């Protein structure tokens, strides 16, 4: 009904910041559009990086997206003839996002979900691990470690230029916060 196959599936694209998840999501979206498949793109509204209502990669590629806060909101927005559902920043959703992806795939759609698999502490991030388990296809991609050049699988959180500690709150008023891609050797979490 929706495409050349008679069932849908889930693709998970995961990794640390700067690994190219958004770039890869945009690449898959673009190719589906070239094939004249109807695509709908969603992103979690918590992430306001660069632009509202767009998925934007760190190297400046972008595509329009609908900002949502819940899995239910995605479901309400799905149009009947949509074959590809792309979701960015999937780690910010609650566990309901996994059920939503399964439901969409069961309906015959191709779901492509991108997100962080680990938080800045190097621990599993929200619903991403469960989504990886439910997915037919998982691509775990790497950035380049800013310190040593090894494959970077982790996101280093810096507060005023120093490694954020394990017990730092997620919101730090008045502090400058930044992120880097690092390997397991160079990733620092004081207090862990
Ligand atoms: P993600 O969505 O995983 O954060 P993006 O697709 O937004 O990744 O960005 C990937 C781009 O980030 C790369 O193409 C590159 O231009 C840039 N980049 C910046 N720092 C790094 C790094 N340390 N390793 C790899 N790419 C980096
Ligand atoms: Zn390193």
pLDDT digits (tens, 9 = 90+) for 58-70: 888 999 999 999 9
For 103, the domain range is 9-141
184 lies in some domain: no
CB distance 20 to ligand 1 below 6 Å: yes
What's the sign of the alpha-carbon dihedral 128, 67, 80, 1?
A: negative
CATH of the domain at 135: 3.40.50.300
- pLDDT of 6 above 80: no
Whether residue 22 contacts residue 49, with contact meaning beta carbons closer than 8 Å, is answered with no
Please, which pLDDT band fits residue 1 given cuts at 50, 70 and 90? very low
Position 163 scores a pLDDT of 96
Render pLDDT for 104-155 as a digit per residue (tens, 0 to 9): 999 999 999 999 999 999 999 999 999 999 999 999 999 999 999 999 999 9
Phi/psi of residue 110, nearest 5 degrees? -95, 120
115 lies in some domain: yes
161 lies in some domain: no
14 lies in some domain: yes
Q: Would you mind telling me the total number of residues written for the chain in this entry?
A: 192
What percent of the chain shows pLDDT beyond 90? 82
How many domains does the structure of the chain reveal? 1
Q: Minimal CA–CA distance to 146: which of 163, 170, 125, 169? A: 163
26 lies in some domain: yes
Residue 25 CA, closest ligand 1 atom number: 6
4 lies in some domain: no
pTM of the complete model: 0.93
Please, which pLDDT band fits residue 48 given cuts at 50, 70 and 90? low
Residue 141 CA, closest ligand 1 atom number: 3
Pocket test for ligand 1, best of 12, 29, 49, 59 (most atoms within 8 A of CB): 59
- Give alpha helix (H) positions in 42-93: 71-77
- pLDDT of 80 above 70: yes
Phi/psi of residue 113, nearest 5 degrees? -120, 125
* Burial of residue 176, with CB atoms counted within 10 A of its CB: 0-12 exposed, 13-18 middle, 19 or more buried: exposed
> Bridge-partner residues for 143, per DSSP?
152
Token pair in block for residue 42: 């969603």
59, 70, 123, 131, 173 from 127: Cα distances, Å: 26, 13, 12, 6, 27
182 lies in some domain: no
Q: Is 64 a catalytic residue?
A: no
116 lies in some domain: yes
What percent of the chain shows pLDDT beyond 70? 94
What is the 3-class SS of 105-121, one letter each residue?
HHCCCEEEEEECCECCC
* Burial of residue 169, with CB atoms counted within 10 A of its CB: 0-12 exposed, 13-18 middle, 19 or more buried: exposed
């Amino acid at each position: 009904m929706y495409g050349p196959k008679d069932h849908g599936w889930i693709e998970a694209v995961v990794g640390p910041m700067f690994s190219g998840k958004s770039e890869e999501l945009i690449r898959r979206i673009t190719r589906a559009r070239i094939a004249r498949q109807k695509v709908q793109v969603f992103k979690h509204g918590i992430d306001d990086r660069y632009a509202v209502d767009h998925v934007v990669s760190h190297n400046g590629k972008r595509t329009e997206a609908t900002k949502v806060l819940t899995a239910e909101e995605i479901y309400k927005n799905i149009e009947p003839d949509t074959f590809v559902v792309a979701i960015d920043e999937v780690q910010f959703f609650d566990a309901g996002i996994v059920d939503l992806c399964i439901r969409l795939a069961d309906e015959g759609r191709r779901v492509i979900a991108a997100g962080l698999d680990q938080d800045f502490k190097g621990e599993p991030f929200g619903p991403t691990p469960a989504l990886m388990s439910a997915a037919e296809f998982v691509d775990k991609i790497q950035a380049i470690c800013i310190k040593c050049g090894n494959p970077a699988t982790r996101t280093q959180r810096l507060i005023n230029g120093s490694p954020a500690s394990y017990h730092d709150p997620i919101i730090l008023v008045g502090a400058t916060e930044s992120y880097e891609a690092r390997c397991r050797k160079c990733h620092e979490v004081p207090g862990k």
